[in-house]
């Protein structure tokens, strides 16, 4: 009895030591939780004039986190399973977390500069707590290697997103938040049901274990296909990809631009990482990932780009544009190889930079004109030439034209798709390649519309010119410069991706 008790004590001690070691690897998540608590306590302690304090605390936490992540980043870090396989830390996940933190920090800067919503954002802590919660969920999504953990992290992101959409006054915001909540609840329920099927087929929640892989390979094809399709519903919803994209236009239009900036990047890239994990653990089964992701990519490109042609509001246009860009990222994932992973990650980070610049500049014009309807852009290129030129540059990059990083991203992606078609001969890859090129041409017509209105339509507003160099110009320039840098020296980032151990 004494020996058995000692063995149990030793086992418990080992488990506690394992938990302690695991917590040390989650310092970015702990930093976010600490920041969230500081914001909450500050809001509870101070009743008046707390806007500056809330903004300073939140920006300081994110700036510290970003710098610490950059300093501690190790490209060739060996993946490590923590908490009995619930979480896996890797250099790939660390790279995504850096992108998420940068996005949230830029969104905070935009919130401070917003004329319409800055008081609403910082009058209390609700928006900041929801933002930190979304960021925490996205961090956990990149590390989750367990079906239950994936579901919980997706729900943290989803609930935070619903709150961010509904906070504030306005019928449109309430309507958009309700639609988002209802669609999200349905997608979440279907995904959870699909995960329960996968658990029933394999007897394991850990998608990296041999038990899961053996069980999934021995499952009946029809049952397996249904289970994976149900899980895909939830992932595609967070990705904002076809056909689970219905929520995007209304949410983008009704939500303030700083919040939309976060929505357009963080949940999408986190969903891409989860999809990488699902594909990696099930690619050897009878489920034809290449075929189905190819169909979804073609549908998303076509629906997103052609729908964007008919929009008359910049935020709705970028919402449909995001559907098309999600489809482009699916085009890299369906290759099921290392080249496809690197092409998708490269595309995702270039898209991050393009979106940050686009939304920052569009918010500037919203501050001046009071709206982002297309008519409000007419003639402003003459009174605000510098920022108008920056917006033109961003739109050219979003189209995928040289000499900007958007061209390199699409070139890298389409080259990988065509090379895989040449070696495998799968027809769906050729169709993805052809539709990708054709839709790139279509996108030119709606991306170039705003610059056309800025420079070639007569001014119908009385807005003071912005000819002196100011902070908006500095921030806009800093956000646009990487698009040139990654065109001329994209090999720097490609070499970094080559050195990262992408193990899912």
Angle at 485 between CA 71 and CA 135, to 5 degrees: 45
pLDDT value, residue 460: 62
Q: Structure tokens of 321?
A: 């544009």
Helix then strand then coil, in percent of the chain rounded to 5, is 80, 0, 20
Secondary element (H or E) of residue 87:
strand 87-89
pLDDT value, residue 462: 57
Q: What is the pLDDT of residues 269-309, one digit of tens each?
A: 999 999 988 888 888 888 888 899 999 999 999 999 999 99
pLDDT band at 33 (very low <50, low <70, confident <90, very high): very high
SS (H, E, C) 181-242: HHHHHHHHHHHHHHHHHHHHHHCCCECCCHHHHHHHHCCCHHHHHHHHHHHHHHHHHHHCCC
Predicted TM-score (pTM) of this structure: 0.91
SS (H, E, C) 266-307: HHHHHHHHHHHHHHHHHCCCCCCHHHHHHHHHHHHHHHHHHH
**Cross-strand bridge partners of residue 87:** 82, 144
pLDDT band at 9 (very low <50, low <70, confident <90, very high): very low
Q: What is the pLDDT of residues 71-101, one digit of tens each?
A: 988 888 777 877 777 788 888 888 999 999 9
Residue spans of the domains in the chain: they are: 289-504
pLDDT value, residue 8: 43
For helices 338-369 and 490-499, what crossing angle results, to 10°?
Answer: 130
Question: Cα(333)–Cα(297) distance, rounded to whole angstroms?
Answer: 10
Handedness of CA 331, 335, 340, 341 (dihedral sign): positive
pLDDT band at 469 (very low <50, low <70, confident <90, very high): low
Question: Cα(371)–Cα(359) distance, rounded to whole angstroms?
Answer: 13
Q: Structure tokens of 360?
A: 């920052």
Q: What is the pLDDT of residues 95-133, one digit of tens each?
A: 999 999 999 999 999 988 888 777 788 888 888 999 999
Question: Cα(297)–Cα(422) distance, rounded to whole angstroms?
Answer: 19
């Amino acid at each position: 009895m004494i020996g058995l008790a000692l063995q149990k004590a030793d086992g418990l001690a080992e488990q506690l030591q394992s938990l302690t070691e695991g917590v040390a690897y989650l310092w970015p998540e702990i930093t976010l939780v600490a920041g969230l608590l500081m914001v909450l306590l500050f809001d509870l302690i101070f009743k008046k004039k707390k806007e500056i304090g809330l903004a300073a605390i939140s920006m300081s936490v994110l700036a510290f986190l970003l710098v610490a992540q950059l300093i501690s980043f190790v490209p060739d870090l060996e993946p490590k399973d923590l908490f009995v396989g619930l979480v896996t830390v890797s250099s790939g996940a660390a790279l995504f977390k850096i992108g998420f933190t940068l996005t949230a920090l830029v969104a905070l800067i935009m919130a401070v500069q917003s004329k319409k919503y800055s008081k609403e954002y910082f009058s209390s802590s609700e928006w900041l707590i929801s933002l930190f919660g979304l960021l925490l969920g996205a961090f956990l999504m990149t590390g989750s290697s367990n079906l239950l953990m994936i579901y919980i992290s997706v729900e943290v992101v989803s609930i935070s997103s619903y709150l961010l959409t509904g906070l504030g006054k306005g019928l449109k915001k309430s309507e958009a938040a309700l639609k988002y909540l209802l669609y999200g609840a349905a997608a979440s329920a279907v995904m959870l049901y699909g995960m329960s099927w996968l658990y029933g087929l394999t007897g394991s929640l850990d998608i990296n274990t041999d038990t899961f892989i053996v069980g999934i390979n021995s499952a009946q094809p029809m049952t397996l296909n249904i289970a994976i399709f149900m899980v895909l519903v939830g992932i595609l919803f967070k990705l904002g990809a076809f056909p689970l994209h219905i929520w995007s236009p209304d949410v983008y239009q009704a939500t303030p631009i700083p919040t939309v900036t976060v929505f357009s990047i963080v949940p999408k890239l986190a969903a891409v990482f989860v999809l990488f994990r699902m594909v990696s653990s099930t690619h050897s089964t009878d489920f034809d990932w290449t075929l189905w992701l190819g169909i979804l990519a073609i549908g998303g490109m076509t629906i997103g780009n052609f729908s964007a042609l008919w929009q008359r509001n910049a935020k709705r246009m970028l919402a449909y544009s995001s559907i098309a860009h999600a489809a482009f990222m699916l085009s890299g994932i369906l290759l099921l190889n290392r080249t496809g992973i690197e092409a998708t990650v490269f595309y995702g980070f270039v898209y991050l930079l393009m979106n940050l610049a686009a939304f920052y500049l569009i918010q500037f014009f919203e501050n001046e004109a009071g709206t982002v309807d297309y008519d409000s852009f007419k003639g402003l290129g003459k009174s605000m030439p510098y920022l108008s030129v920056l917006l033109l540059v961003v739109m050219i990059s979003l189209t995928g034209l040289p000499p900007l990083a958007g061209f390199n991203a699409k070139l890298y992606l389409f080259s990988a798709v065509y090379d895989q078609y040449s070696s495998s001969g799968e027809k769906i890859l050729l169709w993805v390649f052809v539709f990708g090129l054709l839709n790139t041409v279509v996108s030119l017509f709606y991306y170039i519309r705003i610059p056309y209105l800025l420079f070639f339509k007569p001014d119908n507003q009385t807005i003071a010119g912005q000819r002196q160099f100011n902070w908006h110009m500095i921030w806009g320039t800093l956000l646009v410069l990487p698009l040139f840098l990654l065109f001329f020296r994209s090999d720097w980032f490609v070499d970094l991706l080559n050195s990262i151990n992408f193990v899912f």
